[in-house]
Structures are given as structure tokens and as C-alpha cells.
């Protein structure tokens, strides 16, 4: 289990990178018309994907949230690679803070999308859910690394 959880974190980070890449492309273009499969997955009421991608909440200082997401997931993937190589998580004090802050920001974006925009973009929700599960697996991995499970 000590090796499986970091691998799962890495797989989720890869999924997050791919999803964030799509969100970046969607922000700058109209992918619905180029990729038919995307159009069918985004045919929610009020054009949810387009509404979210073109909203003011989709950027921070003019940079799309997908760019931050891709960088974040790539960073986590790098941490997983270091974890697999060294046998322990790097940045033992900073990494939990970074993951917690990203989870809070992801929750804020999901809340904003659902409550303020009154819409639901499946690709955005996939990124938020991927992040939440990934942080959970990281926390479980740290728990097992500390030997806390042995006392159960």
C-alpha cells in the first residue's frame, strides 16, 4: 500500500494535467466545434463549458485557471517521482500546505461555478474531483509512511 498510493497520486496528477490542458485549449478556442465528442459532453443547459471558460472567474491576472492547474498537477507529479525514487515525500512541511491551499482554491472555484454561475462544466468538475481524491490519497500515503497504521 505504501507504493500503491503514491502511484495513484501520480496517475491522478497525469489525469489532472490532461484535463487542465483541455481547459487551457477550451479557454483560447471553441473546441466544441472542432472535436465532436467534446460538443456532446458539453451540451448542458446554457452552454456550461463555454459559460465557465469565458467567465471572469476563469482567469487570475489574465492567466487561465487551467494554466495554474496544469502547473500544479505537474508539480505534484514531480513530487511523486521524487517520492518513488527516494522512498519519502519531498518538502514534508511545504507540500501539505500547498496541497491544502490548492484544495481550498479548487473548492472555491467549484462553489463559484455552481452557486454564482448556476452552471456545471464537466471538465472543470473533473479537475476539482481529481484534485480532491489526489489530496486524499496523498494524506493516506503520509499516514502510512509515518507508521500510524501499525498502531491500529
User: Backbone phi, then psi, for 9, in 5-degree steps?
Assistant: -60, -45
CA distance 139 to 37: 35
pLDDT at position 6 = 96
List the Cα angle 22/24/27 in 5-degree steps: 105
User: Does 34 or 12 have the greater pLDDT score?
Assistant: 12
Instruction: State the Cα–Cα distance between residues 129 and 142, nearest whole angstrom.
Output: 20
Domain annotation for the chain: domains and CATH numbers: 4-145 (1.20.1440.130)
pLDDT band at residue 152, thresholds of 50, 70 and 90?
very low
| Residues 6+ positions from 105 with CB-CB distance below 8 Å | none
- Does residue 120 carry a pLDDT above 70? yes
pLDDT, residue 34, reads 60
Cα separation, 9 vs 74, whole angstroms: 11
Q: Which of 66, 57, 60 is nearest to 29 (CA)?
A: 66
Identify which of 13, 133, 15, 22 has the alpha carbon closest to the alpha carbon of residue 73: 13
Q: What pLDDT is recorded for position 54?
A: 80
Lowest mean pLDDT among 21-35, 69-83, 114-128: 21-35
* Amino acid 61: pLDDT: 93
- Residue with more model confidence, 2 or 110: 110
Rounded CA-CA distance 124/65 in Å is 10
pLDDT tops 60 at residue 139 = yes
Quick: pLDDT tens for 38-74. Answer: 554 555 555 577 778 888 888 999 999 999 999 999 9
Q: Where are the beta strands (DSSP E) in 69-138?
A: none
Q: What is the pLDDT at residue 151?
A: 46
Amino acid at each position: 500500500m505504501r507504493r500503491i498510493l503514491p502511484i495513484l497520486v501520480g496517475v491522478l496528477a497525469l489525469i489532472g494535467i490532461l484535463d487542465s490542458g483541455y481547459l487551457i485549449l477550451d479557454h483560447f478556442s471553441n473546441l466544441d466545434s472542432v472535436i465532436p465528442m467534446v460538443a456532446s459532453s458539453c451540451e448542458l443547459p446554457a452552454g456550461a463549458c463555454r459559460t465557465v471558460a469565458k467567465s471572469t472567474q476563469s482567469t487570475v491576472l489574465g492567466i487561465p485557471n487551467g494554466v495554474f492547474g496544469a502547473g500544479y498537477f505537474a508539480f505534484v507529479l514531480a513530487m511523486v517521482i521524487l517520492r518513488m525514487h527516494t522512498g519519502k515525500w519531498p518538502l514534508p512541511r511545504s507540500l501539505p500546505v500547498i496541497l491544502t491551499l490548492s484544495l481550498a482554491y479548487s473548492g472555491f472555484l467549484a462553489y463559484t461555478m455552481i452557486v454564482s454561475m448556476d452552471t456545471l462544466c464537466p471538465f472543470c468538475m473533473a479537475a476539482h474531483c481529481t484534485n480532491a481524491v489526489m489530496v486524499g490519497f496523498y494524506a493516506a500515503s503520509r499516514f502510512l509512511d509515518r507508521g500510524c497504521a501499525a498502531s491500529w
